[in-house]
Amino acid sequence: MFIDERMENNEVAFCSLWTDHIRINDCADLFVNSKLNGDYFFNRLNPLVCVDKVVIRKAMEVCQREDTDCYVHIYDMNTKDRYSLLEAGFRWIDTMHILRAASNKVEYDNEKIHVVHAGLRHVPKWVDTFCRSFDVLAWKPEVKKIIDLHFKKLTLLLSYLHVSDCSAKVGGCAALFDNHGVLGLYCLGTISHLRGLGLAKKIIGTSLQIAQRQRVDSLFLQTFANEGLFPFYKKLGFRLVYKKRVYALKRNSFRVVLNEGSL
């Protein structure tokens, strides 16, 4: 199996931990969690081999029932599916870059930052850091439930900034997921007022060390174009493997599309 296929399968398995995973017509995967509504990394239709009108309609019907917006990820070069989505009323909202580490270390010299592996007792702190980093405080009960349920499948990381000899602030988080022979770096975030200090960079360096110890082929991550972080990851030695476009249709448009015969 090619490296991009294994990266994609890792991502699918990770998203399945956070959502209900529904196979449609044996050619597309739909991931839905209404409690994470508005997020288009976890909530999405992920086509395997098709995005036809039947698949789109079935996905919309599920999203309508769950009262969530409908998002679709397609490979950047797939013009046929792109046109099918535009005809159905979807609009292109973002592009996801899937990046692979091209080196096995990150040069780092900030001794005031350290990274720890979060144990069970650290889960509430990890959940709080994640929700604060991504400004989704309303998600805390759902994220806590997901992490508690799948804790053994993940390697949770927390980064701390030492502000004095006896005091440190938690400022960043990440979740590593080893699956299909590659290590996915997910949920990498930093609390807003502590950004730019190197907390995320230190987590990436620690993740590369873990990838070496576990002898996996590669460490990879995803970043959205709208986040503007591609240059940051490129500077740290990550290289683009492939891209996916993200299309969206809001809930208030479902009735028009489904009832007026657009599909």
**Residue bearing the bigger pLDDT, 54 or 18:** 18
Q: Which helix (H) or strand (E) segment is 59 a member of?
A: helix 53-66
Domain shared by 66 and 14, yes or no: yes
Domain shared by 149 and 92, yes or no: no
Q: What is residue 260's predicted lDDT score, i.e. its pLDDT?
A: 60
Domain shared by 67 and 133, yes or no: no
Domain coverage including residue 62:
3-96+243-259
The closest alpha carbon to 74, from 59, 63, 166, 124, belongs to 59
Question: In b/e form, how buried is each residue of 99-122, taking b as 16+ CB within 10 angstroms?
Answer: bbbeeeebeeeeeebebeebeeeb
Domain shared by 86 and 20, yes or no: yes
Q: What is residue 164's predicted lDDT score, i.e. its pLDDT?
A: 67
Domain shared by 12 and 76, yes or no: yes
Kindly report, residue by residue over 232-252, the tens digit of the pLDDT.
Answer: 999 999 999 999 999 999 887
Domain shared by 19 and 40, yes or no: yes
* 172: β partners: 159, 190
Domain shared by 45 and 107, yes or no: no
Domain shared by 111 and 207, yes or no: yes
Domain shared by 180 and 72, yes or no: no
pLDDT above 70: residue 74? yes
Q: Contacts from 135-141 at CB under 8 Å and sequence distance 24+?
A: 135/192, 136/36, 136/39, 139/35, 139/36
- Tell me the CA distances in angstroms from 235 to 62, 107, 238, one per residue in order: 41, 11, 7
Domain shared by 92 and 107, yes or no: no
**Residue bearing the bigger pLDDT, 206 or 77:** 206
Q: What is residue 18's predicted lDDT score, i.e. its pLDDT?
A: 98
Number of other residues whose CB lies within 10 A of the CB of residue 256: 11
Alpha-carbon span 223 to 86, nearest angstrom: 23
Kindly report, residue by residue over 106-158, the tens digit of the pLDDT.
Answer: 776 677 899 999 999 999 999 999 999 999 999 999 999 999 999 999 999 99
* CATH classification at residue 217: 3.40.630.30
Domain shared by 212 and 247, yes or no: no
Kindly report, residue by residue over 165-220, the tens digit of the pLDDT.
Answer: 667 899 999 999 999 999 999 999 999 999 999 999 999 999 999 999 988 878 99
Domain shared by 181 and 218, yes or no: yes
* CATH classification at residue 36: 3.40.630
Query: pTM for this one?
Result: 0.93
